[in-house]
Amino acid sequence: MTERISSVETIDVRFPTSRHRDGSDAMNPFPDYSAAYVVLRTTSGQEGHGLVFTVGRGTEIQVAAVRSLAGMVVGQPVDELVADPGALARRLVGDSQIRWLGPEKGVVHMAAGGLVNAVWDLAARRAGKPLWKLLADLTPEQLVAQIDFRYLRDALTEDEALGLLRAAAGGRADRERRLLAEGYPAYTTTPGWLGYDDEKLARLCVEAVAAGYDLIKLKVGGDLADDVRRMGIARQAVGPDVRIAVDANQIWGVPEAVDWMRQLSPFDPYWIEEPTSPDDVLGHAAVRRALAPVRVATGEHVHNAVMFKQFLQAGAVDVVQIDACRVGGVNENLAILLLAAKFGVPVCPHAGGVGLCELVQHLAMFDFVAVSGSTDDRAIEYVDHLHEHFVDPVRLRGGRYLAPTAPGMSAEIVAASLTAYRFPDGPEWTVAPTGATADAGEPVTAA
């Protein structure tokens, strides 16, 4: 009998991270790292796991969207699905009624991405490979067939994509050996959350350098005097040779971004991340022109490949920050990696939150092995929160991600954590002190 997808379970799981202001930045003072967590099950008992990362309130909307799209996955023959996840991605993104709610953006697009990623996780498990290796073993033709080029051809054609992949094919085996031996560079945002006091900032900066990081990131944009003081503390703590990136999380308009960053320039910021609205391609280009040689980085909120295409066409970014859960899944991220390679812009993935490190490492490692062929000026973000909830958590050594070897996309959360943190009825929400999704100063929505 044909093996089929028998069910899609979607779970609202929330971690009360706001209680300690982990993850606090200028736009997200009290995040509760959360997920719409997805489990595909097949008629023969196999599973594929995926998640859509969220930050607390509203996760129920994301769950509703995954559940609405799940009907397009249930009943599908598994062999066909894992042989061509791109066909599913096209159906999910292209549904002629649901696309009105996007298209290719926001809740419905992330829901599609969560399901597509779960299918890739299932595909990699069945192949007995970590996802990065599954992808790196596909031929250029197979990879290109996984991408929807409809809106991309003015910047990247199928033939150009094939050319990039073929040019990198020769070195794949050697780079794979290097990846397995040496890992992939990381940078850390752990020291720099806006809610941490100066002492904690300084201590965590010193610890980061001692742990082997040569790039750290600070949140900025709350208060200019605070930022000047904190940048001074961080620069003092790490010395002149460790790079310090800063991240404004969209708090500024274009003129403010330029003015504010000029005040921080004495401390040699490496990049300014999300200086303004993630939709503002032309605004980022203006900020980049004004602030060069400070780099401009964005991506965690760039909602699809069409937007990344324009950021690259307009010369608006120096650093492409893909996110595993923002766009329509692995397939769209393949397109974004190829666009970045075409324009010669390095990819430094966004991570942190819950599960983002676990998922996105596969894409960066695939990029190294099979697309860009380089780790120069590249690093995956690392934050040391919530990894204990994963069955196959990321492993870091000396400031580098070690390549995962377990089959899949590393998305699986341990069952006990799903039970404990399920919202609103898990014991962490019913027994522990409440208030995290109703934090001081924060507007509260009806449950």
Residues annotated as part of the active site: 219, 350
Q: Which two tokens stand for residue 35?
A: 């997920």
Tell which one of 49, 217, 309, 378 touches its own copies (CB under 8 A). Answer: 309
Count CA atoms closer than 13 A to 272's CA, side-chain side.
36
Tell which one of 58, 212, 232, 393 touches its own copies (CB under 8 A). Answer: 58
Q: Which two tokens stand for residue 108?
A: 């419905």
Q: Confirm or reject binding of residue 67 to its own copies (CB under 8 A).
A: yes
Beta bridge partners of 272: 246, 296
Angle between helices 254-264 and 281-291 (to 10 degrees): 30
Interface with its own copies (CB under 8 A), residue total 75
Q: Confirm or reject binding of residue 152 to its own copies (CB under 8 A).
A: yes
Tell which one of 71, 293, 344, 433 touches its own copies (CB under 8 A). Answer: 71
Q: Confirm or reject binding of residue 446 to its own copies (CB under 8 A).
A: yes
Q: Confirm or reject binding of residue 95 to its own copies (CB under 8 A).
A: yes
Residues contacting 182, CB < 8 A, separation 6+: 400
Q: CA Rg, the chain, in Å?
A: 21
Tell which one of 6, 9, 21, 28 touches its own copies (CB under 8 A). Answer: 28
Q: Confirm or reject binding of residue 6 to its own copies (CB under 8 A).
A: no
Residues of this chain, 321-360, that bind its own copies according to CB under 8 A: none
Smaller CB separation from its own copies, 1 or 446: 446
Smaller CB separation from its own copies, 265 or 445: 445
Distance of closest approach, residue 377 Cβ to its own copies, in angstroms: 25
Tell which one of 81, 134, 254, 370 touches its own copies (CB under 8 A). Answer: 254
Q: Confirm or reject binding of residue 440 to its own copies (CB under 8 A).
A: no
Q: Confirm or reject binding of residue 195 to its own copies (CB under 8 A).
A: no
Task: Choose the stretch contacting its own copies; rule: CB under 8 A; options: 64-72, 342-350, 395-403, 412-420.
Answer: 64-72
Q: Confirm or reject binding of residue 315 to its own copies (CB under 8 A).
A: no
Inter-CA distances, 316 with 163, 174, 275, 278, Å: 25, 33, 11, 11
In which residue are the tokens 């982990």 written? 22
Residues contacting 55, CB < 8 A, separation 6+: 23, 28, 31, 32, 33, 34, 353
Q: Confirm or reject binding of residue 125 to its own copies (CB under 8 A).
A: no
Q: In the 3-class helix/strand/coil scheme, how is 54-79 assigned residue by residue?
A: ECCCCHHHHHHHHHHHHCCCCCCEHH
